[in-house]
Amino acid sequence: MSHNLLAPAPRECGETPTGTSPNVALIRSAYRAFHARDVAALLATFAADVRWVHPDSMSVYDLGGTKHGHAGVREFLARVPGVLGGMLLDPQEFVESGDRVVVFGERFVTSLRGRTERLKFVHSWTLRDGKVTVMEDIFDTVLLQRLIEG
């Protein structure tokens, strides 16, 4: 993640409420690492064979489909600054069911031309043995593509 990719979080997304499960705590630590632009800390939350999944329609920007392993995640993160001027994730609600944590939130995305839009997201995180094995990013690709192209 490049230095200009993310602005500081407007509120601390990594606060761990009393009673939070280990899975939710792990996901919160992944968001903290992302906000801090700490790729090593982010990857430390992922299994070596993690699948990083984004909508196929984002493939036109080399941001779609499934990336595999730590190298695939690094490749994805390295590509983002060539397409976007910045991004801030604001995870708002964490819902846990077994080995899955679903996060509802908003992202504030800035185009390369400096226009910022608020876009909702859903992240589905699957865990195994205390590590993320799948992260799927679900969002309105049409809105993001308009921002990228506009």
Confidence of residue 23 (pLDDT cuts 50, 70, 90): very high
Please tell me the predicted confidence (pLDDT) of residue 34. Answer: 94
pTM of structure: 0.85
pLDDT tens digit sequence for 93-112: 999 999 999 999 999 999 99
> CA 64 → CA 54, 128, 133, 142, distances in Å?
5, 24, 18, 13
Question: What's the confidence (pLDDT) of residue 19?
Answer: 58
Residue partners of 139: CB distance under 8 A and separation at least 6 = 55, 107, 119, 120, 121, 122
> Average pLDDT over the chain, rounded to whole?
89
